[in-house]
Amino acid sequence: MSKRRIIWILLTGAFIAGIFMSGCPKRNGGASTRPEVALIMKSLANEFFKTMEEGARSHQSMHADEYNLEVVGIKDELDVAQQISLVELMIARQVDAIVIAPADSQALIPVCKRAMDAGITVVNIDNKFDEGVLADKGVKLPFVGPDNRKGAYMAGEYLARRLAKADKVAVIEGAPNAFNGIQRKLGFEDAMAEHGIEIVSSQSGYWEMGKANQLASALVSEHPDIKAFLCANDSMALGAVAALKSAGKTDILVVGFDNILAVQELVKAGTILCTIDQHADQLAVFGIEYALEMLENKTAPADRQTPVDLITAKELQ
Amino acid sequence: MKHKIKNLHTAVKDYIGMLVALTALLAIFGLSTKNFFTFTTFRTIANQIPAITIMAVGMTFVLIIAGIDLSVGSVLALSGAVLGVCIVNFKLPLPLAIIACMGVGLICGLINGFIVIKWKLPSFIVTLGMLEVARGAAYSVTGSRTMYIGPAVEVITETAALGLSLPFIIAVVIVIAGQFILARTVFGRYIIAIGTNEEAVRLSGIEPGPLKLWVFIICGVLASVAAVMHTARLSSANPNEGLGMELQAIAAVVIGGTSLMGGRGSVVSTFFGALIIAVLGAGLAQMGAQEPTKRIITGCVIVAAVILDTYRHRLSSRKIT
Amino acid sequence: MFKACGIHKSYPGVKALSDLDLDLRAGEVHALVGENGAGKSTLARIMGGIDTPDSGQMHLNELPYHPQNRAQAESSGVRMVMQELNLIGNLSVAENIFFDHLPNRFGIVNTNRLNQDARQIMQRVGLGDIDPGIKVRDLGIGQQQMVEIAAGLSQRCRIMILDEPTASLTDKETALLFDQIKKLQTERVGIVYISHRIEEIITISDRITVLRDGKLVATRPTGAVTSSDIIRMMVGRDLSAETCKRQRKPGQVALRVKGLSHRDKVKNVSFEVHRGEILGFAGLMGSGRTETMRALFGADRADEGKIYLYGADTPARIRTPRDAVRAGMAFITEDRKEQGLLPALPVRMNITLGRLGRISRLGLIDAARERAIADEYIDLLSIRCRSCEQPVRQLSGGNQQKVVISKWLHKDCDILIFDEPTRGIDVGAKFEIYQLLGELADKGKAIIVISSDVKELMAVCDHIAVISAGRLVAQFSGQEWTPEKIASAAFSEYIKNPTQGHQPNEA
């Protein structure tokens, strides 16, 4: 056997051993009886989830004696397989509760059911599991989170009050396979339909500034009479704002979503008409608190809605 | 004089395939949308091409030496992020921030090139690694947050001469300079030779290593210049920018007839390639096409343009023989 | 049982076989010997169905035999073990042995049976202690060769052609191979055995056929000839007549090489070349001539050895081709396409590549000057091309070679190494290149020429060094050489010890 091969075998062995060791239940060693809560996120690279994570961490550090927290996330919002294996890892570690923001509203259900069968309390946050599949599998687990559709409707409603009937607007959607993206698009459509405003185009900007910018540029040139852009997140709103500025069409209104730091100045100045705050920093915290509550009281799971607020220049004063 | 006429003739022949493709696209979009042939459309396209063009020029050089650089999209995000942080957090003046931004591109290119040459690894693998590393660095530099920079960078796009914006002028200058380097300088000659037969170059007493290193550095720096243009256009920096942009750049270069096998390429053709990509993007958005349609059409156009290019090649090589 | 008559075969520019007859009896070992390019391998390839003859008849067991490809030859029971290994490194030994007839059911390989069958065959060739499941890549070269032979044995076999089978085997493996050959003889298999190793041939063969320049010299029973007879027949007598050339006055020493070694290919080689002198390197293919020059030129890093240039007392530091070129050396490689030319690029770019400094200012190339220089060399060497803009790929072999030489002439080097400068080029161009070599020497350049064609070396060189199995075994000058002396020197290291030439890589 060649030397190189031996080295490889040793390395692989060490790697596997490492995985197993990190996978061992921590409780064995410590005397801690505090419940272990695992927060399984979508992309940690996304600002929204980042804020969520930070909120959870600061909550835990303030209530350090009440529970232990482990936060894990996946590379991007679409890596469903990796998220499933994260849940499996947490089952192996025998945590007490899993708070999960699922990357897919269906694919994660079976593994969460397995976690519940293993006696783990599971709370669904942010992206709601598909009702049909849940019922089909006979799983009942609580959803704690905002209503994206309602949020989008609120923003659309606020915009509609500034427009006349039959005015033209365009929607810049999120990634076409994202549940919250679809909900936001539906919310915008609800509001526009109610006020008889025409959506001339609705295309995906993939949550990205650059792509939204390209879309907005093209749309103002195709539809010069457009009155507003409804963007499914704030980054895309920023892209649209830049497009309108370079086209010299600063009278066109822009609506965002998420209330990220970068847009607050623009909302204050009125460049962006309004945005929606889902209190990302509190979202995970609500989930965790609910999980702890369930652990303590053994209450039956029920959905709990978290607040969604409209943010305009007035709120930021 | 005779030579000049012949040159003009071959020049037209060289670009005819892409001109045909471009004209066809313009015609299709002109017919299928209401307002394609308007000033705003062309200004939009002119605003969008600088970043992709500049990136594609760097990619042309890398492809000519039979390499590839998959990291440019991420390097764009990272350099843009550094630009944003320098202006917003460190309150640096714009020129200094731009220097820092280009420094990032230089370092990324240097690392790519150094690893490829030192360990004789395929650039595909090395730059794939850099794609992840630079993206990760972009997230950590910005704390995964979008950063609004505002007027501090908008200066760049707002500066204009003869009705053309500064980024557009810079892009054209880079294209011309790139073509000049490739066609007329010793450096250009060497990299074409390396792409054709690296071993023959080495045995002719020319070390390919340092030359290849320069090519990767150029590509990295141009990606960061593209980042300046991109950031200025959006007045913000977002660590998620430039996802998949490396593939757009490669598409632009390949549409321009540069061979993935190395040894052959033209920067001017790359410019046309970038133009086709930009027109396609703008046109499809104006049509209001849905995502699936857009992707299918884009894919078909890329392949069709390359097929068209092979005909041009056959045509011109038949003329010689 | 096998008969071939009047076989002709030409490759573009070369007549490989002309009017060749051969017969092979069942159960005999028939050796084919000859110098490089004598036509042994071509004949083997025709028998094995890899090449088809231009004309001529072949019969196998009284039936016409004209295989169009290797598969047809194999189905007639003619199996060939080639010089270049024909194995797939990433597959297991067993899979390689049974590659074209894997035991399977509905396309699913029966691995157990495969490995069992393989083990049986491997035992026959002395590979019994090797796991049939191991990847061929992980075996030593010698073992790989045995696997190749085992693959040949895996099916019904009437004729087995072995082309240099022992080139990389150890003594033990060679002995095993010979046992196996004897066993095949008792099974009435006819064996064609090609080798450079005269001693081996005398030990194993029943009859010997000597080829020279694609023609049959003689077929003799092995018992009736000695090794020196064989060498004489291989080289031919008519050679020495051609040696005639002007006397040149060598100048000072341009290059002195001391103790150059590289891996097991080049072993302690020392020699010197003077200005105005042509030093030839003779030897068999694969004897380490090219490797010596690559190590000298820095193309491969030499393990040991010192190189003194232009009479200097301190050795020159040559670690890369760049160092060598800066020291005024040029290397016209054997493999033009892979190592010498930029095939897709125009003639002019190929000529000026080595010295762009001469046609550029501040890094800018002066296109007019480049064309002028290219035209100058096209004229000087009468390179036949449409213009300096034509891609070299489209030129003939001889003109391509002239382009490579132009590159180095333009570079203006003092020490020029030519590795097989006339390979694959037509007679006219050959003559022009001989002339050019002479002119360069007259101008005071130091020249090294490697060639497998002894006549060629005797026609152009002042001295001839002979390399055998990586060692410089003899050096002849002026009048003392004869083709016989050169040939026996070239074979010397192989006759002394058949296994010394190539140490197998023991895994």
Enter the ipTM.
0.87
CATH of domain B37-316: 1.10.3470
Tell me the mean pLDDT in the region C241-261.
76
Chain C residues touching B193 at Cβ < 8 A? 342, 345, 349, 353
Task: Select from C318, C365, C366 the residue whose CB has the most chain B CBs within 10 Å, as the one to mutate to test that interface.
Answer: C365
Tell me the mean pLDDT in the region A249-271.
92
- Indicate if the pLDDT at residue C117 is higher than 70: yes
For chain A, give the percent of residues with pLDDT over 70: 89
Domain residue spans of chain B: 37-316
Q: How confident is the model at residue B4 (pLDDT cuts 50, 70, 90)?
A: very low
Tell me the mean pLDDT in the region B168-176.
95
Lowest-confidence pick of A28-37, B30-39, B124-133 = A28-37
C363 and B187: CB-CB below 8 Å? yes
* Amino acid C500: pLDDT: 44
Say if residue A176 is in the same domain as residue A196: yes
Within a domain: residue A12? no
Say if residue A166 is in the same domain as residue A263: yes
* Amino acid C14: pLDDT: 65
SS3 (DSSP) at B320: helix
Residue B148: which of A45, A218, A262 has the nearest Cβ? Answer: A262
Q: What is the number of structural domains in chain A?
A: 2
d(CA C123, CA B136): 56
CB environment A113-133: b (16+ within 10 A), e (fewer):
bebbeeebbbbbbbbbbbeee
Q: Which residue of A has its CA nearest to B159?
A: A246
Q: How confident is the model at residue C506 (pLDDT cuts 50, 70, 90)?
A: very low
For chain B, give the percent of residues with pLDDT over 90: 62
Chain B residues touching C331 at Cβ < 8 A? 203
Angle subtended by helix axes B39-64 and B166-184, to nearest 10: 30
Q: How confident is the model at residue A28 (pLDDT cuts 50, 70, 90)?
A: very low
C-beta of residue A201 within 8 angstroms of C-beta of residue B290: no
A222 and B44: CB-CB below 8 Å? no
Tell me the mean pLDDT in the region C234-261.
71
Tell me the mean pLDDT in the region C116-124.
81
* Amino acid A1: pLDDT: 47
CB environment A171-207: b (16+ within 10 A), e (fewer):
bbbbbeebbbbbbbbebbbbbbeebebeebbbbbbbb
- Indicate if the pLDDT at residue C411 is higher than 80: yes
Residue B47: which of A46, A217, A265 has the nearest Cβ? Answer: A217
- Which residues of A have a CB under 8 Å from any CB of B? 44-47, 50, 176, 200-204, 206-210, 213-215, 217-224, 234-235, 238-239, 241-243, 245-247, 260-263, 265-266
Within a domain: residue A313? no
C324 and B205: CB-CB below 8 Å? yes
SS3 (DSSP) at B248: helix
* Amino acid C245: pLDDT: 56
pLDDT greater at residue B161 or residue A10: B161
- Indicate if the pLDDT at residue C4 is higher than 50: yes
Chain B residues touching A234 at Cβ < 8 A? 146
Lowest-confidence pick of B53-67, B301-315, C39-53 = B301-315
* Amino acid B321: pLDDT: 35
| Residue C31 burial (10 A CB sphere; 0-12, 13-18, 19+) | buried
φ/ψ of residue C449, rounded to 5: -125, 125
- Indicate if the pLDDT at residue B5 is higher than 50: no
Encoding tokens for residue A209?
A: 């500034």
Q: Which residue of A has its CA nearest to B35?
A: A222
Q: How confident is the model at residue C447 (pLDDT cuts 50, 70, 90)?
A: very high
**Cβ of C314: how many Cβ atoms within 10 Å?**
8
DSSP lists the bridge partners of residue A100 as A40, A124
* Amino acid B75: pLDDT: 97
Task: Select from B203, B264, B316, B320 the residue whose CB has the most chain C CBs within 10 Å, as the one to mutate to test that interface.
Answer: B203
Query: What does pTM read for this prediction?
Result: 0.80
* Amino acid B79: pLDDT: 97
d(CA B1, CA B61): 31
- Indicate if the pLDDT at residue A251 is higher than 50: yes
B186 and C324: CB-CB below 8 Å? no
Within a domain: residue A4? no
Say if residue A203 is in the same domain as residue A103: no
Distance from CA of C493 to the nearest CA of B (A): 31
* Amino acid C242: pLDDT: 43
Residue B34: which of A50, A218, A222 has the nearest Cβ? Answer: A222
* Amino acid B319: pLDDT: 41
Length reported for chain C: 507
Say if residue A78 is in the same domain as residue A186: no
* Amino acid C122: pLDDT: 81
Q: How confident is the model at residue C195 (pLDDT cuts 50, 70, 90)?
A: confident
- Indicate if the pLDDT at residue B312 is higher than 60: yes
The domain of A267 spans 148-277
pLDDT greater at residue A101 or residue C248: A101
- Mean pLDDT, chain B, rounded, equals 89
C341 and B200: CB-CB below 8 Å? yes
Where do the DSSP E strands lie in chain A?
36-40, 68-72, 97-100, 121-125, 143-145, 168-173, 198-204, 226-231, 253-255, 274-277, 304-305, 309-312
Say if residue A242 is in the same domain as residue A97: no
Say if residue A183 is in the same domain as residue A262: yes
Q: Which residue of A has its CA nearest to B39?
A: A221
* Amino acid C203: pLDDT: 86
Say if residue A106 is in the same domain as residue A66: yes
A209 and B36: CB-CB below 8 Å? no
- Indicate if the pLDDT at residue A190 is higher than 80: yes
Lowest-confidence pick of A300-314, B134-148, C138-152 = C138-152
Tell me the mean pLDDT in the region C210-235.
83
Encoding tokens for residue B98?
A: 């731009």
Within a domain: residue A236? yes
Q: How confident is the model at residue A29 (pLDDT cuts 50, 70, 90)?
A: very low
Residue range B13-70, pLDDT digits in tens: 677 778 888 899 999 998 888 888 888 888 888 888 999 999 999 999 999 999 999 9
Say if residue A168 is in the same domain as residue A241: yes
d(CA A294, CA B207): 69
Say if residue A159 is in the same domain as residue A261: yes
Q: What's the longest Cα–Cα distance across chain A?
A: 80
Where do the DSSP E strands lie in chain B?
147-148, 160-161, 164-165, 236-237
Neighbours of chain C (3+ CB pairs under 8 A): B
Task: Select from B3, B186, B206 the residue whose CB has the most chain C CBs within 10 Å, as the one to mutate to test that interface.
Answer: B186
pLDDT greater at residue C47 or residue B79: B79
- Mean pLDDT, chain C, rounded, equals 84
* Amino acid C502: pLDDT: 45
For chain B, give the percent of residues with pLDDT over 70: 93
Task: Return the top range by mean pLDDT from A10-14, A72-76, C415-419, C434-438.
Answer: C415-419
Tell me the mean pLDDT in the region C401-417.
93
Task: Select from C364, C386, C407 the residue whose CB has the most chain B CBs within 10 Å, as the one to mutate to test that interface.
Answer: C364
Tell me the mean pLDDT in the region C314-333.
93
Lowest-confidence pick of B122-126, B274-278, C126-130, C267-271 = C126-130
B288 and A203: CB-CB below 8 Å? yes
- Which residues of C have a CB under 8 Å from any CB of B? 297, 299, 320-322, 324-326, 331, 333, 338-345, 349, 353-354, 356-357, 360, 363-365, 367, 386, 390, 394, 407, 411
Quick one: CA torsion of B24, B25, B26, B30, rounded to 10 degrees?
100
- Indicate if the pLDDT at residue A187 is higher than 90: yes
**Cβ of C428: how many Cβ atoms within 10 Å?**
9
- Residues 134-173 on B with a CB inside 8 Å of C are none
- Which residues of B have a CB under 8 Å from any CB of A? 33-36, 38, 40-41, 43-44, 47-48, 135, 139, 143-148, 150, 154, 157, 230, 233-236, 238-243, 281-283, 285-291
d(CA A199, CA A193): 9
Residue B205: which of C342, C354, C367 has the nearest Cβ? Answer: C354
Residue range C272-288, pLDDT digits in tens: 999 999 999 998 878 88
- CATH number where A71 lies: 3.40.50.2300
Task: Select from C294, C322, C386, C389 the residue whose CB has the most chain B CBs within 10 Å, as the one to mutate to test that interface.
Answer: C322
- Indicate if the pLDDT at residue A287 is higher than 70: yes
Q: Which residue of B has its CA nearest to C366?
A: B184
Task: Return the top range by mean pLDDT from A132-136, B211-215, C264-268.
Answer: B211-215
Tell me the mean pLDDT in the region A154-163.
95
Residue B35: which of A202, A208, A221 has the nearest Cβ? Answer: A221
Q: Name the helix (H) or strand (E) containing C205.
A: none
CA A119, A120, A125, A128 dihedral sign is: negative
C-beta of residue C98 within 8 angstroms of C-beta of residue C117: yes
Distance from CA of B189 to the nearest CA of C (A): 8
Say if residue A58 is in the same domain as residue A159: no
Residues in contact with C12: Cβ distance below 8 Å, sequence separation at least 6, in sequence order:
none
- Which of B274, B285, B72 lies closest to A243 in space, CA to CA? B285
Residue range C80-98, pLDDT digits in tens: 877 666 777 788 888 888 8
d(CA A238, CA A85): 35
Query: What region, left, alpha or beta, does residue A287 occupy, with left being phi > 0 and alpha being psi -120 to 50 degrees?
Result: alpha
- Indicate if the pLDDT at residue C428 is higher than 90: no
Residue range B177-222, pLDDT digits in tens: 999 999 999 999 999 999 999 999 999 999 999 999 999 999 999 9
* Amino acid C112: pLDDT: 81
Distance from CA of B53 to the nearest CA of C (A): 25
* Amino acid B320: pLDDT: 41
* Amino acid C7: pLDDT: 87
Residue C363: which of B185, B199, B321 has the nearest Cβ? Answer: B185
Say if residue A81 is in the same domain as residue A125: yes
Neighbours of chain A (3+ CB pairs under 8 A): B
pLDDT greater at residue A20 or residue A135: A135
φ/ψ of residue C161, rounded to 5: -105, 120
* Amino acid A2: pLDDT: 57
Chain B residues touching A202 at Cβ < 8 A? 288
- Mean pLDDT, chain A, rounded, equals 86
Say if residue A191 is in the same domain as residue A251: yes
- Indicate if the pLDDT at residue C256 is higher than 90: yes
pLDDT greater at residue C14 or residue C202: C202
Q: How confident is the model at residue B314 (pLDDT cuts 50, 70, 90)?
A: low
Query: What region, left, alpha or beta, does residue A279 occupy, with left being phi > 0 and alpha being psi -120 to 50 degrees?
Result: left
**Cβ of A62: how many Cβ atoms within 10 Å?**
10
* Amino acid B133: pLDDT: 96
